[in-house]
Structure 1
Amino acid sequence: MYALFKWFGNKRLIILMFGLIFFIALMGFTLGKRESMIWPEKFVKDSVSWFQGLVYRPARVIAGFFEDMHRLTVLYEENRALKQTLTRYAKDTARLNDLESQNKRLKEALGFTERQMQANEYKYRIAEVYASSPDPYNNTVVINLGEKDGIRENMAVMSVEGLIGRVQRVSPFYANVQLLTDIDVRSSSSKAIAATVKNRENESFGIIESYDREKELLVMNKIPKTDQMTKGDVVITSGLGQLFPRGIEIGTIVEKDEGEFGITHTAYIKPFASFNHLREVFVVEVPELR
């Protein structure tokens, strides 16, 4: 029995030695300079390449999927950041445009008040239009000045272009302004305007009593037949009646017709002021009426 185990032990040693010798010989043969591989090398190489391809394809698909998901996530974050940036840019641009427009209006208002101070002794209180009536037949706006600011009913209100109306109602901090487009002497809430022609104040006279909505023109009646006012003349407040102070520009005469019974004339006046999108207006204070 001992001899048999010894023989098997020697046999394993002999097989190991032959295997080692074959491996060394094979390495020396493959490392040598050869023009082509032998068939065992080709077989091994093809087998390994096929197995690598078998493993690599699904691995590549999986890796590509996760890479695409990562790219989509990055793209989504970039798009969201870009949208937020564009939104902020649009808001900043709108705010900048509004500030530039406001700055332009305030410069015009400053120039207007300086010119008016040289022309008369009136005090012009600038006010912001806080709200406007949505009713087309109730043409009023609300300004952010009131009794606490010395505003009283029937004070004249104007823009840099010309007269726009009068203070109709006053509360402690706000006031309602009735626009010229709402003037109608048939209404108890409306007031007529005594008017004349600029540079011919002692020669011309008329009463602005209504507003023609179709023509978008003010209607001035009771013009004496001998009055020489004509198309193109600038109409201003005359100061008579002590409601509207003297010398505020209203508009230009665009048409003159014969009035009622042929005794007087009627003139149609295109207002200087625009009554849409009012932002800042001026309440006129007359020192003599304080």
Structure 2
Amino acid sequence: MFRLFGNKKLLMLMLALMVFIALMGLTLGRRTGLTWPERFVKDTVSWTQGWFYKPARYVAGFFEDVHHLRQTYEENKILRMTLSQYAKDTMRLNLLEAQNKQLKEVLGFTERQKGADNYKYLVAEVISVSPDPYSNTVNINLGSMDGIKENMAVMSIEGLIGRVSKVSNFTSSVQLLVDMNGGAGGSAERQLEKGIAATVKGKEDKVFGTIEYYSNEKQGLVMTRISQNSESELDIGDTVVTSALGQVFPKGLEIGKVTDKKIGDFGITYVATVQPKATDFRHLREVLVVKVPEVE
């Protein structure tokens, strides 16, 4: 019985091998289409793969979208930083160009002044403006360590703007011409040493007067104590300069132009209105402190 069972197994194996060879012969030959078992297997495998492929594709697409989104976020972050830096660089460039232009103008002014006098001009930067509307004062970045002293004249490239009122080691305060209210009832402390001795450029030996205060009504400096003889020589449009008779401001510093003149209150002397050459006192950037050489 065991031998018969073994022969049956051999017989089944031989039969399966023959069927396999027959199927190989059928599939290797030229065919116009698939057999029904092949179609069944193919359709079954494709349908099964479809069920697994679609979720896998959605999951892979989701992670790919997340990656692209993060990459876009990083790129936008870099672009924002680059744009911010570009804006800072542009602002700094504009500021440097404005400062360069201003310094060139200051340099041109000092070069021109070398032929007119022997004063030394210390270039200072305005670092702050007094917030008090009743105190027309600015602070500069030069102090006693730089040779600054009280009552030194301070100019812009247009003309005289005031004097040094207070000095510390590294900074100083500058009292502006528009703070001259002594003649209009102000205190003696606000009179810029009780006025500026002045004359007219080109007529230094003919016209004399004193700049006493700034008139808000006339928007100009008031020049008083002009004698009758001086009045005849004083014309509208004349340039008023310091005369040095007051022993505070050195001579020859331009103050402004005469815009009006009239007889004084008592009919003895005349009064003139002088428009300062430096008109924008609240937006000063660089100023010049006038240092007069000491007489040996």
TM-score by length of 1: 0.87
Q: Which residue of 1 aligns with 2:44?
A: 47
Q: Secondary structure at the match of 1:151?
A: coil
Distance (whole Å) between structure 2 residues aligned to residue 220 and residue 162 of structure 1: 16
Distance (whole Å) between structure 2 residues aligned to residue 35 and residue 212 of structure 1: 113
Structure 2: unaligned runs, 5 residues or longer: none
Distance (whole Å) between structure 1 residues aligned to residue 120 and residue 38 of structure 2: 108
1:127-163 Cα offsets, whole Å, 9 max, x none, are 2223221122211112222233332211100111211
Q: Secondary structure at the match of 2:174?
A: strand
Structure 1 counterpart of 2:286, which letter?
E
Distance (whole Å) between structure 2 residues aligned to residue 71 and residue 181 of structure 1: 64
Cα 1:261–1:39, aligned 2, differ >3 Å: closer, same or farther?
farther
Structure 2 counterpart of 1:266, which letter?
A
Distance (whole Å) between structure 1 residues aligned to residue 261 and residue 157 of structure 2: 26
Following TM superposition, by how much is the alpha carbon of 1:273 offset from its aligned partner in structure 2, in angstroms?
Answer: 4.9
Distance (whole Å) between structure 2 residues aligned to residue 223 and residue 28 of structure 1: 134
Q: Which residue of 2 aligns with 1:188?
A: 188
Distance (whole Å) between structure 1 residues aligned to residue 214 and residue 22 of structure 2: 119
Q: Which residue of 2 aligns with 1:251?
A: 256
Does the CA contact (< 8 Å) of 1:220 and 1:269 recur in 2?
Answer: no
Distance (whole Å) between structure 1 residues aligned to residue 150 and residue 55 of structure 2: 87
Does the CA contact (< 8 Å) of 1:256 and 1:268 recur in 2?
Answer: no
1:217 to 204, 220, 228: 220
Following TM superposition, by how much is the alpha carbon of 1:284 offset from its aligned partner in structure 2, in angstroms?
Answer: 0.9
Does the CA contact (< 8 Å) of 2:156 and 2:278 recur in 1?
Answer: no
Indicate the RMSD between aligned Cα atoms, in angstroms: 2.5
Q: Secondary structure at the match of 2:223?
A: strand
Structure 1 counterpart of 2:57, which letter?
R
Structure 1: unaligned runs, 5 residues or longer: none
Structure 1 counterpart of 2:14, which letter?
M
Does the CA contact (< 8 Å) of 2:198 and 2:210 recur in 1?
Answer: yes
Distance (whole Å) between structure 2 residues aligned to residue 215 and residue 65 of structure 1: 76
Structure 2 counterpart of 1:276, which letter?
R
Structure 1 counterpart of 2:118, which letter?
E
Cα 1:210–1:281, aligned 2, differ >3 Å: closer, same or farther?
same
Distance (whole Å) between structure 1 residues aligned to residue 235 and residue 14 of structure 2: 133
Distance (whole Å) between structure 2 residues aligned to residue 151 and residue 286 of structure 1: 11
Q: Secondary structure at the match of 2:188?
A: coil
1:237 to 236, 239, 242: 242
Provide runs of 4+ in structure 1 moved above 6 Å: none
Q: Which residue of 1 aligns with 2:292?
A: 286
Q: Secondary structure at the match of 1:134?
A: coil
Higher deviation after alignment, 173-182 or 23-32: 23-32
Cα 1:6–1:227, aligned 2, differ >3 Å: closer, same or farther?
farther
Cα 1:213–1:23, aligned 2, differ >3 Å: closer, same or farther?
farther
Higher deviation after alignment, 266-275 or 73-82: 266-275
Q: Secondary structure at the match of 1:112?
A: helix
Following TM superposition, by how much is the alpha carbon of 1:214 offset from its aligned partner in structure 2, in angstroms?
Answer: 5.8
Does the CA contact (< 8 Å) of 1:234 and 1:251 recur in 2?
Answer: yes
Counterpart mapping for 1:82-97 below 5 A: 82-97=79-94
Does the CA contact (< 8 Å) of 2:153 and 2:162 recur in 1?
Answer: yes
Distance (whole Å) between structure 2 residues aligned to residue 73 and residue 201 of structure 1: 78
Following TM superposition, by how much is the alpha carbon of 1:109 offset from its aligned partner in structure 2, in angstroms?
Answer: 2.0
How many residues are aligned here? Answer: 287
Cα 1:10–1:161, aligned 2, differ >3 Å: closer, same or farther?
farther
Higher deviation after alignment, 195-204 or 241-250: 195-204
Cα 1:117–1:13, aligned 2, differ >3 Å: closer, same or farther?
same
TM-score by length of 2: 0.85
% identity of equivalent residues: 58
Distance (whole Å) between structure 1 residues aligned to residue 9 and residue 122 of structure 2: 118
**Is 1:260 the counterpart of 2:257 in the alignment?**
no
Structure 1 counterpart of 2:213, which letter?
S
1:72-129 Cα offsets, whole Å, 9 max, x none, are 2222222222222223333333333333332222222222212112110111122222
1:37 to 34, 48, 52: 34
Following TM superposition, by how much is the alpha carbon of 1:257 offset from its aligned partner in structure 2, in angstroms?
Answer: 4.8
Distance (whole Å) between structure 1 residues aligned to residue 256 and residue 246 of structure 2: 20
Cα 1:47–1:145, aligned 2, differ >3 Å: closer, same or farther?
same
Cα 1:131–1:17, aligned 2, differ >3 Å: closer, same or farther?
same
